[in-house]
A and B are shown apart, each in its own frame.
Chain A
Amino acid sequence: MVWKIQGVEGENYLESIKNFLNQLLKSKNVDAVLVPKRFPDGNNTAQVLITDPGKLDDIDPLAPVQMVNSAQIVKELTKDPVKEKIASVLRPCEVRATIELIKLKQILDARLYIIGYDCPGVYNVKDYIEKLEKSNGIGKEGFTLSYVNSFLSGKQDTIRESCQLCTHFTGNSADINIAWVGSNSSDVFIEVNSEKGQSLIEGLAGEKIGDLIERNQKINKILDERKKRQENEIDDFLGFMQRCIRCYNCREVCPLCYCKECLLKPEKMGYSSDRYLRRATKKGQIKMPVDTVLYHLTKINHMAFSCVSCGLCEQACPMDIPLGRIYNVFGRKAQALFDYEPGRSLDDELPVATFKEDELKEIEDVKE
Protein backbone atom coordinates (compact mmCIF):
# COMPACT_ATOMS: atom_id res chain seq x y z
CA MET A 1 0.00 0.00 0.00
CA VAL A 2 1.50 3.33 -1.06
CA TRP A 3 0.56 6.53 0.72
CA LYS A 4 1.14 10.14 -0.11
CA ILE A 5 1.32 12.08 3.13
CA GLN A 6 0.15 15.66 3.01
CA GLY A 7 2.51 18.50 3.75
CA VAL A 8 5.80 16.65 3.38
CA GLU A 9 6.74 18.09 -0.02
CA GLY A 10 10.01 19.94 0.44
CA GLU A 11 12.45 21.47 -2.00
CA ASN A 12 14.34 18.21 -2.27
CA TYR A 13 14.15 14.60 -1.06
CA LEU A 14 16.07 15.32 2.14
CA GLU A 15 13.66 18.07 3.10
CA SER A 16 10.66 15.88 2.29
CA ILE A 17 12.04 13.09 4.47
CA LYS A 18 12.69 15.59 7.24
CA ASN A 19 9.13 16.91 7.01
CA PHE A 20 7.76 13.38 7.21
CA LEU A 21 9.83 12.53 10.31
CA ASN A 22 8.77 15.85 11.82
CA GLN A 23 5.12 14.84 11.39
CA LEU A 24 5.85 11.43 12.90
CA LEU A 25 7.42 12.88 16.04
CA LYS A 26 4.71 15.53 16.41
CA SER A 27 1.95 12.95 15.99
CA LYS A 28 3.37 11.11 19.05
CA ASN A 29 3.04 7.86 17.13
CA VAL A 30 6.69 7.46 18.07
CA ASP A 31 8.74 8.99 20.87
CA ALA A 32 12.13 8.97 19.21
CA VAL A 33 13.65 8.68 15.76
CA LEU A 34 17.04 7.19 14.98
CA VAL A 35 18.31 8.78 11.76
CA PRO A 36 21.65 9.70 10.13
CA LYS A 37 22.50 13.36 10.63
CA ARG A 38 25.40 15.53 9.47
CA PHE A 39 27.85 16.77 12.07
CA PRO A 40 27.98 20.57 12.48
CA ASP A 41 31.15 20.80 10.34
CA GLY A 42 29.34 18.76 7.71
CA ASN A 43 32.21 16.37 7.12
CA ASN A 44 30.45 13.19 8.12
CA THR A 45 27.21 11.72 9.39
CA ALA A 46 26.29 9.53 12.30
CA GLN A 47 23.12 7.87 13.50
CA VAL A 48 21.47 10.28 15.93
CA LEU A 49 18.62 9.48 18.32
CA ILE A 50 16.25 12.44 18.13
CA THR A 51 13.30 13.12 20.43
CA ASP A 52 12.85 16.84 19.71
CA PRO A 53 11.33 17.56 16.27
CA GLY A 54 13.25 20.85 16.30
CA LYS A 55 16.52 18.91 16.02
CA LEU A 56 15.73 17.31 12.68
CA ASP A 57 17.69 19.93 10.69
CA ASP A 58 20.70 18.50 8.85
CA ILE A 59 19.44 14.92 8.87
CA ASP A 60 20.97 13.20 5.88
CA PRO A 61 19.98 9.56 5.45
CA LEU A 62 20.92 9.71 1.76
CA ALA A 63 24.55 10.79 2.36
CA PRO A 64 26.68 8.26 0.48
CA VAL A 65 28.55 7.00 3.51
CA GLN A 66 27.93 4.22 6.02
CA MET A 67 30.10 4.20 9.13
CA VAL A 68 28.56 1.13 10.78
CA ASN A 69 25.70 -1.21 9.98
CA SER A 70 23.07 0.52 12.10
CA ALA A 71 21.48 -2.81 13.02
CA GLN A 72 24.26 -2.90 15.62
CA ILE A 73 23.04 0.45 16.97
CA VAL A 74 19.44 -0.75 17.03
CA LYS A 75 20.64 -3.80 19.00
CA GLU A 76 22.33 -1.56 21.56
CA LEU A 77 19.27 0.68 21.71
CA THR A 78 16.77 -2.09 22.32
CA LYS A 79 18.73 -4.34 24.65
CA ASP A 80 16.49 -3.46 27.60
CA PRO A 81 12.71 -3.18 27.43
CA VAL A 82 11.58 0.48 27.38
CA LYS A 83 8.15 2.03 27.17
CA GLU A 84 9.08 4.59 24.50
CA LYS A 85 8.47 3.76 20.86
CA ILE A 86 11.51 4.12 18.63
CA ALA A 87 11.46 4.51 14.86
CA SER A 88 14.77 3.66 13.27
CA VAL A 89 15.47 5.02 9.81
CA LEU A 90 17.68 2.40 8.19
CA ARG A 91 19.32 1.58 4.88
CA PRO A 92 17.86 -1.58 3.32
CA CYS A 93 20.90 -3.69 4.30
CA GLU A 94 20.46 -2.43 7.85
CA VAL A 95 16.75 -3.23 7.74
CA ARG A 96 17.57 -6.78 6.66
CA ALA A 97 20.26 -7.20 9.31
CA THR A 98 17.81 -5.90 11.93
CA ILE A 99 15.23 -8.49 10.88
CA GLU A 100 17.85 -11.25 11.09
CA LEU A 101 18.86 -10.05 14.56
CA ILE A 102 15.22 -10.04 15.68
CA LYS A 103 14.98 -13.69 14.58
CA LEU A 104 18.21 -14.39 16.44
CA LYS A 105 16.65 -12.81 19.54
CA GLN A 106 19.31 -10.11 19.66
CA ILE A 107 16.91 -7.21 19.10
CA LEU A 108 13.75 -6.61 21.11
CA ASP A 109 11.26 -5.39 18.54
CA ALA A 110 8.15 -4.81 20.66
CA ARG A 111 8.66 -1.04 20.65
CA LEU A 112 10.72 -0.82 17.50
CA TYR A 113 9.43 0.54 14.21
CA ILE A 114 11.61 -0.07 11.19
CA ILE A 115 11.61 2.63 8.56
CA GLY A 116 13.47 1.77 5.39
CA TYR A 117 14.26 4.00 2.44
CA ASP A 118 15.47 3.68 -1.13
CA CYS A 119 19.25 3.60 -0.82
CA PRO A 120 21.43 5.13 -3.54
CA GLY A 121 24.50 3.24 -2.26
CA VAL A 122 27.58 4.59 -0.52
CA TYR A 123 31.24 5.28 -1.15
CA ASN A 124 33.99 3.77 0.92
CA VAL A 125 34.55 6.12 3.86
CA LYS A 126 37.96 7.20 2.54
CA ASP A 127 36.53 7.99 -0.91
CA TYR A 128 33.60 9.84 0.62
CA ILE A 129 35.80 12.13 2.68
CA GLU A 130 38.12 12.77 -0.26
CA LYS A 131 35.25 13.56 -2.64
CA LEU A 132 33.56 15.77 -0.06
CA GLU A 133 36.75 17.80 0.38
CA LYS A 134 37.10 18.27 -3.37
CA SER A 135 33.49 19.38 -3.73
CA ASN A 136 33.75 22.67 -1.83
CA GLY A 137 31.28 25.26 -2.94
CA ILE A 138 28.18 23.15 -3.42
CA GLY A 139 27.50 22.72 0.29
CA LYS A 140 27.20 19.51 2.23
CA GLU A 141 23.54 18.97 1.43
CA GLY A 142 24.35 19.77 -2.20
CA PHE A 143 26.93 16.99 -2.22
CA THR A 144 24.35 14.41 -1.15
CA LEU A 145 21.78 15.71 -3.63
CA SER A 146 24.17 15.74 -6.57
CA TYR A 147 25.12 12.18 -5.60
CA VAL A 148 21.45 11.19 -5.62
CA ASN A 149 21.12 12.69 -9.12
CA SER A 150 24.09 10.76 -10.39
CA PHE A 151 22.53 7.58 -8.93
CA LEU A 152 19.27 8.31 -10.75
CA SER A 153 21.14 8.86 -14.01
CA GLY A 154 22.80 5.45 -13.59
CA LYS A 155 26.39 6.44 -12.65
CA GLN A 156 27.44 3.83 -10.13
CA ASP A 157 31.01 2.93 -10.96
CA THR A 158 32.82 4.52 -8.02
CA ILE A 159 30.60 3.35 -5.16
CA ARG A 160 31.46 0.50 -2.84
CA GLU A 161 31.52 -2.87 -4.58
CA SER A 162 28.86 -4.34 -2.27
CA CYS A 163 26.55 -1.49 -3.26
CA GLN A 164 27.27 -2.09 -6.96
CA LEU A 165 26.19 -5.70 -6.40
CA CYS A 166 23.20 -4.87 -4.17
CA THR A 167 19.89 -6.15 -5.43
CA HIS A 168 17.85 -5.18 -2.37
CA PHE A 169 18.19 -1.41 -2.30
CA THR A 170 14.60 -0.64 -1.32
CA GLY A 171 13.28 -1.27 2.16
CA ASN A 172 10.38 -3.54 1.28
CA SER A 173 10.73 -5.65 4.40
CA ALA A 174 10.66 -2.62 6.73
CA ASP A 175 7.42 -1.60 8.46
CA ILE A 176 7.32 1.37 6.11
CA ASN A 177 9.61 2.37 3.27
CA ILE A 178 10.29 5.95 2.26
CA ALA A 179 10.17 5.72 -1.53
CA TRP A 180 11.67 8.39 -3.74
CA VAL A 181 13.07 6.50 -6.73
CA GLY A 182 10.64 7.11 -9.58
CA SER A 183 9.12 10.19 -7.99
CA ASN A 184 8.92 12.99 -10.56
CA SER A 185 8.97 15.83 -8.07
CA SER A 186 10.97 16.11 -4.87
CA ASP A 187 8.07 14.35 -3.19
CA VAL A 188 8.47 11.10 -1.27
CA PHE A 189 5.93 8.27 -0.90
CA ILE A 190 5.33 5.98 2.04
CA GLU A 191 5.07 2.26 1.29
CA VAL A 192 3.32 0.51 4.18
CA ASN A 193 4.38 -3.12 4.53
CA SER A 194 2.98 -4.22 7.90
CA GLU A 195 0.33 -3.54 10.50
CA LYS A 196 2.95 -1.89 12.62
CA GLY A 197 3.74 0.35 9.69
CA GLN A 198 0.08 1.24 9.35
CA SER A 199 -0.08 2.27 13.01
CA LEU A 200 2.97 4.45 12.44
CA ILE A 201 1.22 6.74 9.97
CA GLU A 202 -2.11 6.69 11.80
CA GLY A 203 -3.58 10.13 12.15
CA LEU A 204 -1.34 11.68 9.49
CA ALA A 205 -3.29 13.36 6.71
CA GLY A 206 -2.69 11.56 3.47
CA GLU A 207 -4.16 9.48 0.70
CA LYS A 208 -3.66 6.02 -0.69
CA ILE A 209 -2.32 5.98 -4.21
CA GLY A 210 -1.88 3.14 -6.66
CA ASP A 211 1.35 1.49 -7.72
CA LEU A 212 4.09 3.79 -8.91
CA ILE A 213 4.65 2.35 -12.37
CA GLU A 214 7.60 4.51 -13.26
CA ARG A 215 9.23 3.54 -9.97
CA ASN A 216 9.02 -0.19 -10.69
CA GLN A 217 10.50 0.29 -14.15
CA LYS A 218 13.40 2.31 -12.78
CA ILE A 219 14.11 -0.23 -10.01
CA ASN A 220 13.98 -3.18 -12.39
CA LYS A 221 16.45 -1.49 -14.74
CA ILE A 222 18.95 -1.02 -11.90
CA LEU A 223 18.36 -4.60 -10.67
CA ASP A 224 19.06 -6.04 -14.12
CA GLU A 225 22.35 -4.18 -14.38
CA ARG A 226 23.43 -5.26 -10.93
CA LYS A 227 22.53 -8.91 -11.38
CA LYS A 228 24.87 -8.97 -14.37
CA ARG A 229 27.72 -7.84 -12.10
CA GLN A 230 27.20 -10.60 -9.54
CA GLU A 231 29.69 -13.42 -9.73
CA ASN A 232 29.15 -17.04 -8.85
CA GLU A 233 32.71 -18.12 -8.18
CA ILE A 234 35.69 -16.75 -6.30
CA ASP A 235 39.00 -17.06 -8.07
CA ASP A 236 41.71 -18.01 -5.62
CA PHE A 237 39.97 -17.77 -2.26
CA LEU A 238 43.05 -19.23 -0.54
CA GLY A 239 45.21 -16.58 -2.21
CA PHE A 240 43.05 -13.78 -0.81
CA MET A 241 43.26 -15.35 2.62
CA GLN A 242 47.06 -15.08 2.52
CA ARG A 243 46.56 -11.34 2.94
CA CYS A 244 44.48 -11.79 6.10
CA ILE A 245 46.21 -10.75 9.32
CA ARG A 246 43.34 -12.05 11.49
CA CYS A 247 42.73 -8.61 12.98
CA TYR A 248 39.05 -9.49 13.59
CA ASN A 249 37.89 -6.17 12.08
CA CYS A 250 35.43 -7.93 9.76
CA ARG A 251 33.93 -9.75 12.72
CA GLU A 252 33.66 -6.59 14.82
CA VAL A 253 31.74 -4.66 12.17
CA CYS A 254 29.61 -7.60 11.01
CA PRO A 255 26.03 -7.08 12.19
CA LEU A 256 25.41 -10.82 12.13
CA CYS A 257 28.43 -11.74 14.28
CA TYR A 258 26.60 -11.22 17.52
CA CYS A 259 28.06 -13.93 19.80
CA LYS A 260 29.30 -12.54 23.09
CA GLU A 261 31.75 -15.41 23.36
CA CYS A 262 33.23 -15.94 19.92
CA LEU A 263 34.62 -19.36 19.19
CA LEU A 264 37.30 -17.72 17.05
CA LYS A 265 38.84 -15.65 19.86
CA PRO A 266 42.53 -16.55 20.27
CA GLU A 267 41.97 -17.74 23.82
CA LYS A 268 39.23 -20.10 22.62
CA MET A 269 41.42 -21.42 19.83
CA GLY A 270 43.98 -22.65 22.36
CA TYR A 271 46.97 -20.90 20.86
CA SER A 272 50.15 -21.39 22.88
CA SER A 273 53.84 -21.26 22.00
CA ASP A 274 54.09 -24.97 22.51
CA ARG A 275 51.20 -25.64 20.16
CA TYR A 276 52.60 -23.45 17.40
CA LEU A 277 55.81 -25.43 17.53
CA ARG A 278 53.99 -28.76 17.43
CA ARG A 279 51.90 -27.60 14.49
CA ALA A 280 55.01 -26.38 12.68
CA THR A 281 56.68 -29.73 13.25
CA LYS A 282 53.76 -31.53 11.63
CA LYS A 283 54.05 -29.78 8.26
CA GLY A 284 57.67 -28.71 8.72
CA GLN A 285 56.59 -25.06 8.66
CA ILE A 286 53.58 -22.95 9.53
CA LYS A 287 52.41 -19.48 8.50
CA MET A 288 51.96 -16.91 11.28
CA PRO A 289 49.41 -15.65 12.14
CA VAL A 290 47.89 -19.10 11.82
CA ASP A 291 44.39 -20.18 10.80
CA THR A 292 43.31 -17.33 8.54
CA VAL A 293 41.45 -19.74 6.25
CA LEU A 294 39.90 -21.51 9.25
CA TYR A 295 38.80 -18.15 10.63
CA HIS A 296 36.98 -17.05 7.47
CA LEU A 297 35.50 -20.44 6.60
CA THR A 298 34.17 -20.78 10.15
CA LYS A 299 32.71 -17.28 10.08
CA ILE A 300 31.12 -18.09 6.72
CA ASN A 301 29.61 -21.32 8.06
CA HIS A 302 28.25 -19.51 11.09
CA MET A 303 26.61 -16.53 9.40
CA ALA A 304 26.65 -16.68 5.58
CA PHE A 305 23.03 -17.84 5.39
CA SER A 306 22.09 -14.59 7.13
CA CYS A 307 24.66 -12.39 5.35
CA VAL A 308 22.93 -9.25 4.08
CA SER A 309 25.95 -8.21 1.97
CA CYS A 310 26.25 -4.78 3.56
CA GLY A 311 29.95 -4.76 2.74
CA LEU A 312 31.06 -3.35 6.10
CA CYS A 313 33.60 -6.19 6.35
CA GLU A 314 35.28 -5.01 3.16
CA GLN A 315 35.31 -1.40 4.34
CA ALA A 316 36.90 -2.45 7.63
CA CYS A 317 39.56 -4.71 6.09
CA PRO A 318 43.00 -3.08 6.40
CA MET A 319 44.42 -5.48 3.81
CA ASP A 320 41.93 -4.64 1.03
CA ILE A 321 40.62 -8.19 0.74
CA PRO A 322 37.42 -7.98 -1.36
CA LEU A 323 35.39 -9.48 1.48
CA GLY A 324 32.14 -7.88 0.30
CA ARG A 325 32.30 -9.83 -2.96
CA ILE A 326 33.61 -12.98 -1.27
CA TYR A 327 30.89 -13.10 1.40
CA ASN A 328 28.29 -12.21 -1.22
CA VAL A 329 29.18 -15.33 -3.24
CA PHE A 330 29.32 -17.65 -0.20
CA GLY A 331 26.14 -16.11 1.19
CA ARG A 332 24.06 -16.43 -1.96
CA LYS A 333 25.13 -20.06 -2.37
CA ALA A 334 24.23 -20.97 1.22
CA GLN A 335 20.91 -19.11 0.95
CA ALA A 336 20.04 -20.78 -2.36
CA LEU A 337 20.20 -24.20 -0.67
CA PHE A 338 17.13 -23.32 1.37
CA ASP A 339 15.52 -20.67 -0.83
CA TYR A 340 16.25 -18.30 2.02
CA GLU A 341 16.65 -14.57 1.69
CA PRO A 342 18.00 -12.86 4.80
CA GLY A 343 15.79 -10.05 6.00
CA ARG A 344 12.96 -10.87 3.62
CA SER A 345 10.46 -11.53 6.36
CA LEU A 346 10.17 -12.24 10.06
CA ASP A 347 8.07 -15.26 9.11
CA ASP A 348 10.92 -17.08 7.32
CA GLU A 349 12.67 -19.29 9.85
CA LEU A 350 16.47 -19.23 10.05
CA PRO A 351 17.75 -22.09 7.86
CA VAL A 352 19.77 -23.71 10.66
CA ALA A 353 16.98 -23.47 13.21
CA THR A 354 14.56 -25.51 11.14
CA PHE A 355 14.51 -28.42 8.67
CA LYS A 356 12.38 -30.43 6.32
CA GLU A 357 12.21 -34.18 6.68
CA ASP A 358 12.49 -34.77 2.98
CA GLU A 359 15.38 -32.70 1.68
CA LEU A 360 19.11 -32.73 0.90
CA LYS A 361 19.22 -36.47 0.21
CA GLU A 362 22.15 -35.82 -2.11
CA ILE A 363 24.50 -34.89 0.72
CA GLU A 364 23.85 -38.05 2.72
CA ASP A 365 25.92 -39.97 0.23
CA VAL A 366 28.94 -39.26 -1.92
CA LYS A 367 28.52 -39.88 -5.61
CA GLU A 368 31.48 -41.65 -7.14
Chain B
Amino acid sequence: MGKNSVDFEPKIIAFLCNWCAYAGADLAGTSRTQYPSNIRIIKLMCTGALDPTYVIKVLLEGADGVLIGGCHPGDCHYINGNYKARRRVAILKSSLETAGLESERVWLRWISASEGVYFAETVKEMVEHIKKLGPNPLKMEWAI
Protein backbone atom coordinates (compact mmCIF):
# COMPACT_ATOMS: atom_id res chain seq x y z
CA MET B 1 0.00 0.00 0.00
CA GLY B 2 1.68 3.17 -1.15
CA LYS B 3 1.66 6.48 0.69
CA ASN B 4 1.11 8.21 -2.61
CA SER B 5 -2.00 10.34 -2.34
CA VAL B 6 -3.01 9.36 -5.86
CA ASP B 7 -3.63 5.66 -5.21
CA PHE B 8 -4.68 5.90 -1.55
CA GLU B 9 -8.37 6.38 -0.86
CA PRO B 10 -8.85 6.74 2.91
CA LYS B 11 -11.77 5.18 4.72
CA ILE B 12 -13.25 7.57 7.24
CA ILE B 13 -15.89 6.63 9.78
CA ALA B 14 -18.17 9.51 10.79
CA PHE B 15 -20.17 9.50 14.01
CA LEU B 16 -22.81 12.19 13.45
CA CYS B 17 -25.50 13.36 15.82
CA ASN B 18 -29.09 12.99 14.73
CA TRP B 19 -30.08 16.63 15.19
CA CYS B 20 -27.29 18.66 13.62
CA ALA B 21 -24.36 17.03 11.85
CA TYR B 22 -26.43 14.20 10.37
CA ALA B 23 -29.07 16.65 9.20
CA GLY B 24 -26.22 18.71 7.74
CA ALA B 25 -25.01 15.66 5.81
CA ASP B 26 -28.59 15.06 4.70
CA LEU B 27 -28.85 18.62 3.45
CA ALA B 28 -25.60 18.21 1.52
CA GLY B 29 -27.18 15.18 -0.12
CA THR B 30 -30.56 16.70 -0.96
CA SER B 31 -28.84 19.87 -2.22
CA ARG B 32 -26.63 17.74 -4.50
CA THR B 33 -23.50 19.21 -2.88
CA GLN B 34 -20.55 17.13 -4.01
CA TYR B 35 -18.18 15.62 -1.45
CA PRO B 36 -15.74 12.68 -1.52
CA SER B 37 -17.20 9.20 -1.06
CA ASN B 38 -14.56 8.19 1.51
CA ILE B 39 -16.90 8.65 4.40
CA ARG B 40 -19.07 6.01 6.14
CA ILE B 41 -21.69 7.60 8.36
CA ILE B 42 -22.99 6.17 11.62
CA LYS B 43 -25.88 8.12 13.10
CA LEU B 44 -26.03 8.72 16.86
CA MET B 45 -28.62 10.54 18.91
CA CYS B 46 -25.91 12.77 20.41
CA THR B 47 -22.11 13.04 20.38
CA GLY B 48 -22.37 12.97 24.16
CA ALA B 49 -23.57 9.37 23.82
CA LEU B 50 -20.50 8.25 21.88
CA ASP B 51 -18.44 5.86 23.97
CA PRO B 52 -14.75 6.36 23.12
CA THR B 53 -14.41 2.59 22.76
CA TYR B 54 -16.09 2.72 19.33
CA VAL B 55 -13.60 5.28 18.07
CA ILE B 56 -10.69 3.23 19.41
CA LYS B 57 -12.13 0.06 17.87
CA VAL B 58 -12.46 1.42 14.34
CA LEU B 59 -8.94 2.91 14.52
CA LEU B 60 -7.47 -0.42 15.65
CA GLU B 61 -9.40 -2.19 12.91
CA GLY B 62 -7.76 0.06 10.35
CA ALA B 63 -10.05 3.03 9.65
CA ASP B 64 -7.91 5.89 8.35
CA GLY B 65 -9.86 8.58 10.14
CA VAL B 66 -12.77 9.21 12.48
CA LEU B 67 -14.98 12.29 12.20
CA ILE B 68 -17.17 13.12 15.18
CA GLY B 69 -19.83 15.68 14.26
CA GLY B 70 -22.21 17.37 16.66
CA CYS B 71 -24.24 20.50 17.21
CA HIS B 72 -22.54 23.85 17.69
CA PRO B 73 -21.90 24.79 21.33
CA GLY B 74 -25.16 25.97 22.85
CA ASP B 75 -27.29 24.20 20.21
CA CYS B 76 -27.29 20.67 21.62
CA HIS B 77 -30.72 19.05 21.45
CA TYR B 78 -29.92 17.56 24.86
CA ILE B 79 -28.71 20.90 26.23
CA ASN B 80 -25.02 20.08 26.81
CA GLY B 81 -24.13 16.65 25.38
CA ASN B 82 -21.70 18.20 22.90
CA TYR B 83 -19.74 19.97 25.66
CA LYS B 84 -19.37 16.66 27.45
CA ALA B 85 -18.38 14.95 24.22
CA ARG B 86 -15.62 17.55 23.81
CA ARG B 87 -14.19 16.56 27.20
CA ARG B 88 -14.34 12.86 26.32
CA VAL B 89 -12.66 13.47 22.97
CA ALA B 90 -9.94 15.47 24.75
CA ILE B 91 -9.25 12.50 27.04
CA LEU B 92 -9.41 10.14 24.04
CA LYS B 93 -6.91 12.13 21.99
CA SER B 94 -4.55 12.45 24.94
CA SER B 95 -4.73 8.69 25.56
CA LEU B 96 -4.12 7.88 21.90
CA GLU B 97 -1.00 10.08 21.92
CA THR B 98 0.29 8.44 25.08
CA ALA B 99 -0.31 5.00 23.57
CA GLY B 100 1.77 5.99 20.56
CA LEU B 101 -1.20 6.11 18.16
CA GLU B 102 -2.06 9.01 15.87
CA SER B 103 -4.63 11.27 17.51
CA GLU B 104 -4.59 13.42 14.36
CA ARG B 105 -6.86 10.85 12.75
CA VAL B 106 -9.69 11.82 15.10
CA TRP B 107 -11.55 15.02 14.27
CA LEU B 108 -14.27 16.77 16.22
CA ARG B 109 -16.38 19.28 14.29
CA TRP B 110 -19.55 21.22 15.02
CA ILE B 111 -21.88 21.16 12.00
CA SER B 112 -25.42 22.50 12.12
CA ALA B 113 -28.45 21.16 10.24
CA SER B 114 -28.26 24.13 7.86
CA GLU B 115 -24.56 23.68 7.09
CA GLY B 116 -24.70 21.18 4.22
CA VAL B 117 -21.95 23.05 2.40
CA TYR B 118 -19.77 23.16 5.52
CA PHE B 119 -20.27 19.41 5.98
CA ALA B 120 -19.09 18.79 2.40
CA GLU B 121 -16.10 21.10 2.96
CA THR B 122 -15.21 19.32 6.20
CA VAL B 123 -15.21 15.95 4.44
CA LYS B 124 -13.06 17.32 1.61
CA GLU B 125 -10.64 18.90 4.06
CA MET B 126 -10.40 15.75 6.13
CA VAL B 127 -9.86 13.46 3.15
CA GLU B 128 -7.04 15.71 1.94
CA HIS B 129 -5.46 15.76 5.39
CA ILE B 130 -5.66 11.98 5.83
CA LYS B 131 -4.26 11.45 2.33
CA LYS B 132 -1.21 13.47 3.34
CA LEU B 133 -0.97 11.47 6.56
CA GLY B 134 -1.07 8.18 4.66
CA PRO B 135 -2.90 4.96 5.48
CA ASN B 136 -3.47 3.98 9.09
CA PRO B 137 -0.44 1.82 10.01
CA LEU B 138 -2.73 -0.34 12.16
CA LYS B 139 -4.56 -1.53 9.04
CA MET B 140 -2.36 -4.59 8.68
CA GLU B 141 -1.20 -4.74 12.33
CA TRP B 142 -2.34 -8.09 13.71
CA ALA B 143 -0.55 -8.12 17.09
CA ILE B 144 -2.86 -5.69 18.89
Contact = CB atoms under 8 A, between A and B. Distances in A.
A41 interface: no
A338 B98 contact: no
A307 to B, nearest CB: 12
A362 to B, nearest CB: 9
Given A286-B142, A301-B53, A368-B129, A337 B60 contact: no
Interface residues of A, number: 46
B60 A284 contact: no
Interface stretch (B6-14, B31-39, B101-109): B101-109
Given A329-B98, A366-B104, A301 B90 contact: no
B100 A238 contact: yes
A251 to B, nearest CB: 14
Contacts of A287: 142-144
A233 B98 contact: yes
Chain B interface main SS type: helix
A355 B84 contact: yes
Contact of A355 (B86, B100, B139, B142): B86
Interface in B63-118: 73-74, 80, 83-84, 86-96, 98-100, 104, 107-110
Nearest to A357: B73
Contacts of B51: 263, 298
Nearest to A356: B83
A241 interface: yes
A79 B100 CA distance: 40
A304 B91 contact: yes
B91 A337 contact: yes
B99 A237 contact: yes
A360 to B, nearest CB: 5
Nearest to A279: B61
A283 B98 contact: no
B52 interface: yes
Given A301-B92, A352-B87, A238 B80 contact: no
Contacts of A302: 52
B142 A285 contact: yes
B144 A334 contact: no
A333 interface: yes
Nearest to B82: A355
Contacts of B88: 301, 352
Given A297-B56, A301-B53, A366-B107, A360 B87 contact: yes
B91 A294 contact: no
B52 A298 contact: yes
Nearest to B57: A294
B90 to A, nearest CB: 5
Interface centre among A264, A284, A291, A338 (most CB of B within 10 A): A291
22 contacts: A234-B98, A238-B99, A238-B100, A238-B144, A241-B144, A263-B51, A282-B61, A283-B141, A283-B142, A284-B140, A287-B144, A291-B60, A293-B144, A297-B96, A298-B56, A301-B95, A337-B90, A337-B94, A352-B88, A352-B91, A360-B90, A363-B90
- 3 smallest beta-carbon distances between A and B, as pairs: A355-B83, A301-B52, A298-B53
Given A300-B95, A302-B52, 13 more contacts: A236-B100, A283-B62, A284-B140, A301-B52, A301-B91, A301-B92, A304-B95, A333-B98, A334-B91, A363-B90, A363-B93, A363-B108, A366-B129
